Amino acid sequence: MRKKLVVLITDCKDVAFNEMKLIIYRECWRLGVYDIEVELIGVDEFSIINAAFITRLIAEQCSRDIIISLVINPQKHRSARIYGRTKNGHLFFGANTGALSWFLDEFGIDELYEIHDPGFISFGGKYVHAPSIAKLVAGIPFEDFGKIFSLSQLAILHISDGTVVHIDNFGLIKIKGIMPACKENDILKININGEYKFNAVYSKRMMGRDDKEWVLYSGSSLYGMPELGTVRFKDGYKEMGIKIGDIITWNLFSQNNEIK
């Protein structure tokens, strides 16, 4: 049999991840499950938008026997810890912050539960979340450690088209939405939160352009979402102050700057 795999999507990327992982292992061993692996997938600190995108992105590659575990909650209030199964068989667990909503909206919900609330515990991801994940790994019935959670109580995170949902380690900006109908070398006027900032060129292959040139292109993530970045220069987004959650729009121009 294959190993049981948990993908832990979290902004707890330091020793806190190791604590959660070891508790998952320990609890799985206690429940008689020994062949298990926990994989870290980091998200931007405090960003539910980035967590929602990463969860949806990773789910694309997850088979039914991979458990999707999400630990991030920057909100003031405590949220229910929910778990369940999607219509195509994914098991998932996370706080009801809205970070699961992109994933659940597209994959559908077959069963939805919440754990019995133990009250406030500091670092719930370690003391509440991790042991619950072990129960999912071990195949313990949902009703044995929680109760049905109403779909009407599910937090919904609406992410508008144009929203920056991720910036990778090369400084490339992933934007929710659909690519505009552009031709090679078309010039676009780029606006950040409604304010014009700079021009970018459209290219099918951004790496074929000059160093530090701003390029808009069809990216590799989720239906060819638009990506924007500077060629072989990872700090372009920093120079422009672009961050996750910003709204990027554009006006399309021809090479002689006549509006199309």
pLDDT per residue as tens digits for the range 87-119: 989 999 999 999 999 999 999 999 999 999 888
Are 127 and 50 in the same domain?
yes
| Pair of tokens at residue 79 | 């949220």
Determine what percent of the chain is predicted with pLDDT higher than 70: 97
Residue 260 in any domain: the answer is: no
Are 68 and 122 in the same domain?
yes
Residue 259 predicted with pLDDT over 70 = no
Residue 242 in any domain: the answer is: yes
SS3 239: helix
Instruction: Give residue 174's pLDDT.
Output: 98
CB-CB contact of 4 with 65 (8 Å):
yes
- Domain final residue pick, 153, 174, 202: 153
pLDDT per residue as tens digits for the range 10-51: 999 999 999 999 999 999 999 999 999 999 999 999 999 999
Residue 75 in any domain: the answer is: yes
Are 45 and 172 in the same domain?
no
List the CATH number of the domain containing 142. Answer: 3.40.50.10790
| Pair of tokens at residue 179 | 């690519």
The dihedral region occupied by 119, where left means phi > 0, alpha psi between -120 and 50, and beta the remainder, is: left
Residue 72 lies in domain:
4-153
Are 46 and 129 in the same domain?
yes
Are 141 and 48 in the same domain?
yes
Q: Running DSSP on this structure, what letter comes out for residue 151?
A: G
Are 144 and 80 in the same domain?
yes
Pairing relationship of beta strands 164-167 and 173-175 according to DSSP bridges: antiparallel
Are 73 and 130 in the same domain?
yes
Are 105 and 179 in the same domain?
no
Confidence of residue 256 (pLDDT cuts 50, 70, 90): very low
Instruction: Give residue 135's pLDDT.
Output: 97
CB-CB contact of 202 with 210 (8 Å):
no
Are 197 and 131 in the same domain?
no
pLDDT per residue as tens digits for the range 115-149: 998 888 899 999 999 999 999 999 999 999 999 99
Determine what percent of the chain is predicted with pLDDT higher than 90: 88
Q: Which stretch of DSSP H or E encloses residue 237?
A: helix 236-239
Are 181 and 56 in the same domain?
no
Instruction: Give residue 1's pLDDT.
Output: 66
pLDDT per residue as tens digits for the range 220-240: 999 889 999 999 999 999 999
Are 31 and 112 in the same domain?
yes
Are 103 and 192 in the same domain?
no
Angle, vertex CA 137, rays to CA 71 and CA 10, nearest 5? 15
Report phi then psi at 146, rounded to 5. -165, -170
Q: Which contacts (CB < 8 Å, 24+ apart) does range 122-128 have?
A: 123/16, 124/81, 125/10, 125/12, 125/16, 125/20, 125/71, 126/16, 126/19, 126/20, 126/23, 127/23, 128/81
The dihedral region occupied by 51, where left means phi > 0, alpha psi between -120 and 50, and beta the remainder, is: alpha
The pLDDT of 192-206, averaged and rounded, is 96
Q: What's this model's pTM, rounded to 2 decimal places?
A: 0.93
